[in-house]
Amino acid sequence: MLHVEAIPALKDNYIWALVRDTACVVVDPGEAAPILAWLQDTGTRLAAVLVTHHHRDHVGGIRELVDRFPVPVYGPAKESIAEVTHPVAEGQVVALPDLGAELRVLEVPGHTRGHVAYYGHGHLFCGDTLFGCGCGRLFEGSPEEMHASLARLAALPEDTRVCCAHEYTLDNIAFALQIEPANPELAARARRDRARRRRGEPTLPSDIATEKATNPFLRCGEAAVVRSAQAHAGQDLRREADVFRVVREMKDRFRQ
């Protein structure tokens, strides 16, 4: 059976490991040490590396890993990542024979211009595009690009497991409650995820259904989200992409 594990790294990153029997593939290894320790503890063999985008906290461990294990490294063709041996683009399928798995590549620009996600076997590895109850900052792309990228991910099957790269969920929930304070599913998520963190558990993976019900960045057509954005902007916002832009600006300035 293929299963997925979150390996904590750096301050708040998760490196995702796809595992079948004694073989694994890791996604966005921002540092090598946690992976090397996990491989030793589990007796698992590294078969490949997947990368979503070029930021250091997602690629910083690749060189040390491939120096020890000469495995293929898949990453976005539109970004310059020295360690990538297999550039990938929209619609390609990454075959992982050691796992008996295939993942489809989705181009999801916004956080960076070449950002990709990997989807398959009921799981989405989305890097810094979609977070638990949030989304990534717009470092290189436009609001329109990110809004379109998030809409693509929201259209995936609702039971898709969302494997984000950071444990940002509680901060994102605090912001979302300011945007939609009367959303009962958001209130329930807040209770559930706060309890998880108190127990030392990750809030991830989430799923598409939960994100569609609680994540303001996927709810830019909902009346409460539109009202909050319009109140902040002081003007009517007729396009969902404009609502998204304002909500993203609000989150950039948000402090608990």
Instruction: Please indicate whether residue 115 is annotated as part of the active site.
Output: no
Instruction: Please indicate whether residue 171 is annotated as part of the active site.
Output: no
Q: What is the DSSP letter of 218?
A: G
Pick the catalytic residue from 28, 54, 98, 111: 111
Pick the catalytic residue from 55, 115, 123, 147: 55
Pick the catalytic residue from 28, 53, 123, 193: 53
Contact yes or no for 149/112 (Cβ under 8 A): no
Pick the catalytic residue from 54, 115, 147, 166: 166
Phi, psi of 113 (to 5 degrees): -70, -25
Q: Backbone dihedral region of 128: left (phi > 0), alpha (psi from -120 to 50 degrees) or beta?
A: alpha
Pick the catalytic residue from 128, 171, 193, 207: 128
Pick the catalytic residue from 54, 58, 115, 123: 58
Residue 193: partners with Cβ closer than 8 Å, 6 or more residues away? 132, 169, 170, 173, 203
- CA 156 – CA 162 distance, rounded (Å): 10
Instruction: Please indicate whether residue 147 is annotated as part of the active site.
Output: no
Pairing label, strands 93-96, 101-107: antiparallel
Instruction: Please indicate whether residue 166 is annotated as part of the active site.
Output: yes
- CA 15 – CA 189 distance, rounded (Å): 23
Burial 226-249 (b: 16+ CB within 10 A, else e): bebbbeebeeebeebbbbbbbbbe
Pick the catalytic residue from 28, 54, 57, 123: 57
Instruction: Please indicate whether residue 111 is annotated as part of the active site.
Output: yes
Tracing tokens 């990538």 back to the chain, one arrives at 84
Residue 154: partners with Cβ closer than 8 Å, 6 or more residues away? 208, 211, 212, 218
In order of 10, 51, 67, 119, the CA distances from 137 in angstroms are 19, 18, 32, 22
Catalytic sites, residue numbers: 53, 55, 57-58, 111, 128, 166
